[in-house]
Amino acid sequence: GESVGLHLPTLSVQEGDNSIINCAYSNSASDYFIWYKQESGKGPQFIIDIRSNMDKRQGQRVTVLLNKTVKHLSLQIAATQPGDSAVYFCAEIGAGGTSYGKLTFGQGTILTVHP
Amino acid sequence: GAGVSQSPSNKVTEKGKDVELRCDPISGHTALYWYRQSLGQGLEFLIYFQGNSAPDKSGLPSDRFSAERTGGSVSTLTIQRTQQEDSAVYLCASSLSGAGQGRDQPQHFGDGTRLSIL
């Protein structure tokens, strides 16, 4: 079936470096994407979203890039901090003509930031 | 409250018992979702509510699972005759509107109920 997946299950960076987390999706009908951050013992926390009519969106220290040609999504975190250490999930909405906001999640990438 | 609230935060019960999990969505959010997350895994969709109705129950794993929502607000997920494979974190999310043009709304999650079946 359709799925949203991540290229790298783990990513380790030094504090202050930029981080890039990647996500591949298989359904070209997907039209809305969200990145979530999940810390241990917590629920997923909304980071940033992007619609398919955009290829880039920026937030505070984060940027999401969408390449519809290759069905690839990435999350860039600038000046990564130890507090950014968490599991990051990409999620897709609207696949296959779904008329409501059912999310399909990838498996997650563990980001570890070393001081 | 300011965010999605779930209770209890942890639940340990014996196999065969029934459990009820509660979700208080963000005030004013008409769409409510239940997901399940097994250890180290992504989230698995269970059920979607728009108001008090559940247009999509397709993610419920078996007929032991049911959910209801009253007053367009609080939702309860019930698992009957629990099995060990039901052990997981059950997460609830809400959004302003889930359907039609409003479906592209960020879902905001609670911290979940960690269910352990002995």
Residues 5..34 of B with a Cβ closer than 8 Å to A: which? Answer: 6, 31, 33
User: How many angstroms separate the CA atoms of A4 and B42, rounded?
Assistant: 10
Beta bridge mates, A105: A91
Q: Which amino acid would we find at residue B10?
A: N
- Would you call B80 an interface residue with chain A, using a CB distance cutoff of 8 Å? no
| Residue A100 in this model has a pLDDT that exceeds 80 | no
Q: Is the pLDDT of residue B2 over 90?
A: no
The least confident of A84-88, B17-21, B67-71, B104-108 is: B104-108
Contact A99 B33 (CB under 8 A): no
Q: Is A88 exposed, middle or buried (0-12, 13-18, 19+ CB in 10 A)?
A: buried
- Rounded to a whole number, what is the distance in Å from the CA of A45 to chain B's nearest CA? 7
**Once rounded to an integer, what is the mean pLDDT over residues B1-7?**
88
In the predicted structure, residue B33 carries a pLDDT above the cut 80 = yes
| Minimal C-alpha gap between A82 and chain B (Å) | 21
CA-nearest residue to B46 within chain A is A102
Scan for tokens 């409003």, then name that residue: B102
* B80-87 mean pLDDT: 96
Distance from CA of B18 to the nearest CA of A (A): 24
Largest Cα–Cα separation, chain A: 45
